[in-house]
A and B are shown apart, each in its own frame.
Chain A
Amino acid sequence: MRKRWTWFNITSVIFGFAFLYLPIVLLVIYSFNESRLVTVWAGFSTKWYGELFRNQGLLDAAWVTVRVAFLSASIATVLGTLAAVALVRYTRFNGRTLFTGMVYAPLVMPEVITGLSLLLLFVSINFARGFWTVTLAHITFSLCFVAVVVQSRLVSFDRSLEEAAQDLGCPPFRAFTLITLPVILPAVISGWMLAFTLSLDDLVIASFTSGPGATTLPMKIYSQVRLGVTPEINAVCTLLIGVVTIGVIIASLLTKSREVRRRRDEQAALGNH
C-alpha cells in the first residue's frame, strides 16, 4: 500500500523538524551576523570566524578538548571492547550479573554524581587535577557506551570463526586480532566515535574533574556565555556542528554502501550458484 502525503502528515513533519532544528539553524544564521549584538541582524559577515581564530583562549580550549577526546576515546575503546568480550564470551562465572550491571550503571548514572564521585576520589588520593583527571573521568563514563555497542555486535559474531582460526594453528590471542577484531571493527569504530563525541561535548563531568590549564571547549563556552553570548561563540558552535554532521554523514554512508554492496554480492552469488 502506498502512503499518501496528506496535509496532516506534511504539517506534522514540518513541526517535528522545526522543533528539532530551528534552534540550531538560528545559531548557524547568527554566527554570520555582522552585528556584535547577537539578537540584532545587521547583514552577512564571516568576521566572527576570523575573530575566533585570533582568540587564543578558545583555541587552547579546543586543543585540550580534542586531545582529551582522542585519548579517552581510544583507551575507553580498548577497555570497553575487552569488557564486551568478557561479558559475551564467559557466560558462566560467579557474579556475572553483578559485573554486567556494574558496567551498565554509569549509563544511567546522573553525570553530576559521576563527576562529584570522581572529584572526591581524585581529591582523596591527592591526584593533581588537570588534563589527566579529565581524561580518566571521560574514559570512565564512555567505556560503558563502547561496551554496549561492541557487545551487541559480538552477540551475533559467529564464534566458530575464531575456533576455525585456532583449529588452523593460530594461538587464541592472535586468532582474536586476526579474525575477530577485523570482523567486529565497524562496531569498535562506532564505539570509538561515540566515546569521542561524548567526551567532546561533556560539560558536567569535565567541570568537576578539570583543573587549572585544562579547560575544555564546552567549559570555556559555558563560562563565556555566562558573561553574555557573543557571535564568536555562535561561530565556534557552528564549526562544531559542521564537524559532527560531516562525521555522522560519512559514517552512515560507509555502513550503508557496505550493506548495499554486500546485499548485491549475495544476490549475484545466489544467481550463479
Chain B
Amino acid sequence: MTEPGGTTRVAAPPGVPLRQDTVADATATPDREQPYAALGLTADEYARIGATLGRRPTDAELAIYSVMWSEHCSYKSSRKHLRQFAAKAPATDVLLAGIGQNAGVVDVGHGYAVTFKIESHNHPSYVEPFQGAATGVGGIVRDILAMGARPVAVMDSLRFGPADAPDTQRVLPGVVGGISFYGNCLGLPNIGGELAFDPCYLGNPLVNALCVGVLRPEDLKLAAATGPGNQVVLLGSRTGPDGIGGASVLASASFGGSGEGAKRPSVQVGDPFMEKLLVECCLELYHAGLVVGVQDLGAAGVACATTELSAGGGTGMRVALDRVPLRDASLGPAEILMSESQERMMAIVTPANVAPVLSICAKWDVPATVIGEVTDSGRLEMTWHGAPVVDIPPSSAANDGPVYDRPARRPDSQDALASDDAGRLPRPAGPAAASALRADLLLLVGSAEGGDKAWVTEQYDRYVRGDTVLAMPHDAGLLRIDAETGLGVALATDGNGRYCHLDPYAGTQLALAEAHRNVAASGARPLAVTNCLNFGSPEDPAVMWQFTEAVRGLADGCQQLGVPVTGGNVSFYNQTGPTAIRPTPVVGVLGVHDDVRRRVPSGFGLPDAAIVLLGHTRAEFGGSLWAWLRHGHLGGRPPAVDLAAERSLADVLVAAAAEQLVATAHDLSDGGLAMALAEACLTGGTGCAVTLPGDAATFLFSESAARVIVAVRPGSELAFRQLCATNGVPATDIGQTGGTALEIAGWFSVPLAELADLHGSALPALFG
C-alpha cells in the first residue's frame, strides 16, 4: 500500500508481526541508509545519535530521536535564551513548579494552587482548521491534567490573515468551530482571549490555547517514573496513524507555500468525549492516591512520555510496544512511538494498585493497558513481540539533545522602519476635523480588528461549571475558586505583532504590560506569567534577532514587574517560504482576586459616575490601530514602555477594587481612548460625555501605555483621588457616564445604537 507521504509499506498478514529493525540488526548492519532527513534531522544530529549509542539507531530509535530532538520538543534553538526567565526571575514564594514541568504551578493561598499554560497549534490549524484547533485545546488541557489539577477554564488567542481574504473564510470558521466543539463538549468555560487580523498571518494563522487548572498543593503531580518494579499504564484512546510526525515535520518546519494538504495526515483528530472521560478518570485516580507519576501524551506521543517519565525519575523503563492498543493493526513500533493520537495519558502505578486503577478506568469506560515497568537500569528498553527494538539512555532523548546558538542579526531594515515616524501622519484638523474624528472612530469600531467579537465568543460556553465571574468582552477572565472566601483567579492574554515588528524588545514588554493591566483592571493582583512565542524560522538571523530581543524583553519586564515566568511554549517556523510572520509573542498573566464579589467589570453600568483617565497620554501613533486602519501605516516607534508606571497603576486598580471605589475599569490599548470609551459604553449599555484634555486626535487615538479609564462610584471621588496621588498615578477627570450616546464635547456625538450596529455587524458581515 502507498502511504500519503509517498513511502511504500508492506502490510503483514494477520497475526504475523512485520519484521522490524532490531537492536541486533542495527549492530549487524552499521551502514544501512536511514531516512533521517525526511524525519527532520540534520546529518550532524544523525551522527550525534550514532555517537550516543555507539551504533546506528534502529528505526524505532530514530523515530524517538527525530521527534524528541525536533525544535518543537527540544527547544534546541531557544533553550539558550529561555534560561533568562529563570536567571532573572523575581524572588517569589508562590511558585510550586516552574519551567520544565508540563505547566507552572502557583500557590494562591487558602489551600489552593493554580496551574496554567498557553501553547501553540498553529500549523495543524492551517492545514486542517477544525481538528487542528480542537486538538490544540485537547493538548493543553492534558498538560494541566498531568500536573494533578482539575482543568477549569480555557482561553484562546487567535490571529488570522485579512478578515476579507478568501482563505480566512476557510480558516477562521474552522478554527472557531474546532475550539467551540472541543471546549464545549469537554465542559470547560472559555473565558477570554484575543482575535486579531493581519496580512502576515494569511498563510500561517496563530492558534494559541490556554488552560488553567486548580489543585490542592499536596496533590501536585510530576512527570517522573520512580520505583523500579512500578507498572507503566497507558490510559485512553487506542493509538492510530494520526498525527505521525506532528512535532517534527509539521510543527518544526516552515510551510513551502503549496501542497500543505499533504501534511494533513500529520494533524491529529480529536474526541472531546473521550477527553472528558479521561479527565474525570484521572482525577478519580489521583484522589484515590493510586498514581505515582503521570504524563500526558501530546507532541511525540509514546516516545515523549516514556523518555520524559524515565528521565524525570532518573530510572529506566522496559516497554512492550506490541501491548499498545491500536486502532490500526498494521502500525509498527516507529509509528506507534511517533503517533500523536489524542486523549491518552501515561501513569506510573505500583503493582499492588494496578487492579484498582483498572477498575476505576473501567467505571469511566477508559481503556487502560499495562505496557511496561520501571527499572533501575538507566536505559529505556522497548521490545516488539519480544525482540529488542529500542535501547537508549532516556535523558539523551529527553534532555540532552542538541542546543544551538543560532546567529542573530538585527536587520538593516529596522532603521528605515524606525525613522518612518507615525507622528508625521496627517491627523484630522481644520474645519472638517470634527467629522473626520468621528469618521475615524467609526472606522475603528466597525473594523474586523476593533469590532465586536461576539460572532466568535458566542460559539463558546462561558458558563459551565458555574464559577465564571467575568469573561469576554471584559478585560480579563475571572473565575471563582472558593465560594466561601470569594477567592478567585484572573487571566488575560495579549500580544501585538505590529509593536513587536517595530521593536521586539519593547513590543514584548508592551504585551506583558497590557496583560498585567487587564488582570489588575478586574481587581486581581498579577502573580505569574506564561507565554507563547510565535516566530518565523530560527535559521533566519533576522528572526533569531527578533526572538532574542523578545525573550530579553520579557525576562527583563517580568523582573521589573515582580511576576515570574512559570512556563510557556516556543513556536518557530511560522512562515511560508521566505516570509515570516511578524514576531508575535503572546503573554498570559495570572492574578489572584481576594474576593470576586468585588470584581470590576469593563463596561459603564452606573450613570453619573465620574470618568477618570489614569496615566500619561503622549502623541504615540507608531504601530497604532489608527495608523494601520486609517493610513495603512506601520512605522516609527511603538509606545514607550514604563513598567514602574504599570506597577503603580496596578496597585491603584487592585486597591480601588478592594475598597470598592470604582464601578468600571477598562484598559486602553488598540485604538486608544476612543476604542476604550466605545467598548465601555457598549459593554455596559450606558453612554458617556467626555471632554478631551488636549489635542483631540492624540487623546482619542494615541496608544500610550500604562493607561486605564475608570468610572468612580459616586461619593468615592476623594478617596480615589487620594489613592492615585499616594501611588503617583496621574488621574485626569474627563467626564461622566450616562445617557445614550458617546459624546466627545465640542467635537462629536455618536448614538449608542449607531455605535452598536457598526460594532456588532463587523464580523457577521464577513462571516455570516
Do the two chains belong together in a single complex?
no
> Which positions in B face A, CB cutoff 8 Å?
none
> Which positions in A face B, CB cutoff 8 Å?
none
